Amino acid sequence: KRHLISAADLTRDDAVLILDTAEEMARVADRPIKKLPTLRGRTVVNLFFEDSTRTRISFEAAAKRLSADVINFSAKGSSVSKGESLKDTALTLEAMGADAVVIRHHDSGAPHRLATSGWIGGSVVNAGDGTHEHPTQALLDAFTMRRRLTGGEGHDLSGRHITIVGDVLHSRVARSNVHLLSTLGARVTLVAPPTLVPVGIGSWPCEVSYALDPVLTKSDAVMMLRVQRERMKDAFFPTEREYARRYGLDGERMARMPEHALVMHPGPMNRGMEITAEVADSPRCTAVEQVTNGVSIRMAVLYLLLGGSEPAVTTVPAART
Ligand code: CP
């Protein structure tokens, strides 16, 4: 495949290949010299129209660890603020020879537009578009779950029950995770107040519950979503206090989860809203581990899109110095 736009586009074999390649990349990160020459001479552009901490930094770290040249473009402070279009921005990047464009955009569908427009010749990677998808987040989440809940490499998530809780309506992370986790064989339950459930959820490959407590005890991982106040035009129901009481994960609820079950959060977290500080800082919460795993996943994605004509298992050891 030339682009990564949607987790829904990935077959089970595609997903397992990316996860297994990321395991190879994680072994590189454990070495004293963390760099591979694999993408030397290639240029990766991080094109961010929306704020980001984790995704932008980890794509930059991933590209640099593969020896690519990296250009970081942020809409703030660029000619986008003077009204320049996505097309003219893309043509400018193409003129500079971008081999891959990693794009985050507030409009759902912007990465798809970039990939199909002919404005650029390189690969397009979706780093989060509106409320649509965030495929590398779902991949790093699946990588974390596979490592913690299964035998790791070569495995999928068959038989595991993953619960995703909160503001599903505005969450590209939830949509990408539902598709990827179901492709990998997991059972997925979404838990949200009725006002934060998207129209058309019936066609998603998952179950839906309006109550958190009955699902907690049956979950192998509980993924808390950020309440995205910036995407809400009107006051959302319930009140923040009521939301935290009914849908927030606190120490008392966490204690009712199975002993092996993980607490996950994509970040950034609203401490005191969807998750208490006690839970966020507990050893069961994988939020920081997810960030570490994000670099390995993004190395794997860039490697497979730009340099992956040979299997990573032969290429990576050959590149050892
Ligand atoms: N999880 C995530 O996408 O975080 P950022 O918005 O900081 O990139």
Over the stretch 52-92, which tens digit does the pLDDT of each residue have? Answer: 999 999 999 999 999 999 999 998 888 888 888 999 999 99
Pocket, ligand 1, Cβ cutoff 6 A: 52-55, 128, 137, 266-268
Q: Which domain holds residue 257?
A: 135-289
Number of H helices, E strands in the chain: 12, 9
Active site residue 229: no
- What DSSP letter does each residue of 26-81 carry, written as one string? HHHHTSSS----TTTT-EEEEEESS--SHHHHHHHHHHHHTT-EEEEEESTTSGGG
Q: How confident is the model at residue 312 (pLDDT cuts 50, 70, 90)?
A: very low
Active site residue 105: no
Question: In the prediction, which pLDDT does 320 show?
Answer: 33
Token code pair at residue 307: 């340099």
Is residue 303 domain-resident? yes
Question: Most distant CA pair in the chain: distance in Å?
Answer: 56
186/284 same-domain check: yes
Q: What is the 3-state secondary structure (H, E, C) of 116-135?
A: HCCCCCCEEEEEEECCCECH
Q: Is 242 left (phi over 0), alpha (psi -120 to 50) or beta?
A: alpha
148/19 same-domain check: no
ipTM: 0.98
Q: Which residues are annotated as a binding site for carbamoyl phosphate?
A: 54-55, 104, 134, 137, 267-268
Active site residue 31: no
191/274 same-domain check: yes
34/142 same-domain check: no
172/63 same-domain check: no
- Which residue, among 195, 164, 159, 199, has the nearest Cα to 179 in the 3D structure? 164
129/189 same-domain check: no
The CATH number assigned to the domain holding 281 equals: 3.40.50.1370
Percent of the chain with pLDDT over 90: 82
Mean pLDDT of 307-317: 49
250/300 same-domain check: no
**Of 56, 65, 134, 175, which residue is the catalytic one?**
134
195/298 same-domain check: no
Q: Which ligand 1 atom sits closest to the C-alpha of 57? A: 8
**Of 3, 42, 56, 104, which residue is the catalytic one?**
104
- Which residue, among 147, 139, 193, has the nearest Cα to 168 in the 3D structure? 193
209/285 same-domain check: yes
Active site residue 134: yes
Active site residue 42: no
156/229 same-domain check: yes
Q: What mean pLDDT, rounded, does the chain reach? A: 92
Structural domain total, the chain: 2
Percent of the chain with pLDDT over 70: 93
Is the pLDDT score of 117 beyond 90? yes
**Residue of 46, 47, 48, 54 to test ligand 1 pocket, by largest number of atoms within 8 Å of CB:** 54
Is residue 172 domain-resident? yes
Residue 195 Cα to ligand 1 midpoint, Å, equals 24
Is residue 35 domain-resident? yes
Is residue 80 domain-resident? yes
Is residue 1 domain-resident? no
Q: At what angle do helices 135-149 and 54-65 cross, to 10 degrees?
A: 80
